[in-house]
Amino acid sequence: MGPGQNVTVTVSSLGDAKSLRGGTLLLTPLRGIDGEVYAVAQGSLVVGGFNATGENGTSVTRNTPTVGRIPNGATLERAISTGVDRDPTIRLQLRHPNYETALNISKAINLTFGGQVAKALNKGQVEISAPIDSEDRVMFVAMIQELEIEEGRKMPKVVFNSRTGTVVISQRVTVTEAAVSQGGITVTVLESESVSQPGGAFNTAGETAVVQNTQISVDEDDGTTMVWPPGTNLQEIVDAINNIGATPEP
């Protein structure tokens, strides 16, 4: 990776901060273990939690409101040397590991350049013998990028993110018979004050004090319930969620 490239950063609070929701990271240098600055980061935070606190210290917390992310929020300032440019081989890392895709890549490269130039190591890596000369290597990689590869069939997948309350469903996902209920959450904070008089109203020995009272309640609204029959596919699930008005907010 070289200067100008962007990476995603994770930000965590220090001290007694209660939440980073709606916060912004000011320009911050990111240093390596050698003390050198390798990147600078800034931007608005994406937080997947909330915190409600009363004046008397009563609080309700959902997920982790003191940790946030900034997608592509850091810009590299220095090159990170990995020694790849001097290795006799190049390893392609598949973003979506798949045995069939890795095999198709190695076959296409060997068919184009001849011999056993490429070899699929596993479902996520393909090893390729590459030229040592830098210009020949760049040309070699450029030719590989132009190859048309048939992607292998993806396995159905459902990803749950409990911190943000997000569910990601891939294609070809089907479900068995299930009942699904959806509702909303309302957080209410009520503040009130009361007067405390030690020893009665006409006692002059004590001091009158104002006591702060806080009531925090979390109400879950009644939602609708539906039944999905066996074999329900992704599009039917999406249509059902839209019909009941479910939102992606945690």
Domains and CATH numbers, the chain: 6-76 (no CATH), 84-145 (3.30.70), 158-184+221-244 (no CATH)
Residue among 152, 154, 156 nearest 102 (CA): 152
Please give the average per-residue pLDDT across 129-137, as a whole number. 85
Tokens of 72: 């592509």
The pLDDT value recorded for residue 1 is 59
> Is the pLDDT at 90 greater than 70, yes or no?
yes
As a whole number, mean pLDDT of residues 44-55 equals: 76
Q: Compute the distance between CA of residue 4 and CA of residue 7 in angstroms, rounded to an integer.
A: 10
Residue 127 tokens read as 């090893």
Q: Please say if the pLDDT value at position 106 is more than 90.
A: yes
**Residue of higher predicted confidence among 239 and 204:** 239
CA 152 to chain centre: 25
Has residue 107 got a pLDDT over 70?
yes
Structure-block tokens of residue 39: 């990147």
Q: How confident is the model at residue 236 (pLDDT cuts 50, 70, 90)?
A: confident
- In this structure, of 72-86, 106-120, 143-157, 209-223, the range with the lowest mean pLDDT score is 209-223
Per-residue tokens: 104: 């198709």
Is pLDDT at 83 greater than 60 in this prediction? no
CA gap 167, 68 in Å, rounded = 18
For the stretch 7-37, pLDDT in tens is 899 998 887 777 888 888 999 999 888 888 8
**Per-residue b or e along 148-169, where b marks 16 or more CB atoms closer than 10 Å to that residue's CB:** eeeebeeeeeeeeeeebeeeeb
| Least trusted range by pLDDT, from 75-84, 160-169, 190-199, 234-243 | 190-199
85 DSSP assignment? G
Q: Give the closest residue to 42 by CA, choosing from 15, 68, 79.
A: 68
d(CA 9, CA 27) in angstroms, rounded, equals 13
Question: What pLDDT score was predicted for residue 29?
Answer: 92
Give the pLDDT confidence of 171-206 residue by residue, as tens digits: 777 777 666 665 666 666 666 777 666 655 555 566
Compute the distance between CA of residue 104 and CA of residue 139 in angstroms, rounded to an integer.
21
At 162 the pLDDT is 67
pLDDT at residue 110 is higher than 50: yes
What is the separation of C-alpha 52 from the centre of its chain, rounded to a whole number of angstroms?
A: 23
Mean pLDDT of the chain: 77
Instruction: Report which of residues 74 and 80 the model is more confident about.
Output: 74
Question: Which tokens in the block code for residue 22?
Answer: 């709606």
Which distant-in-sequence residues (6+ apart) come within 8 Å of 249 by Cβ? 165
Report the pLDDT value the prediction gives residue 202, as an integer from 0 to 100. Answer: 58
CA gap 174, 181 in Å, rounded: 18
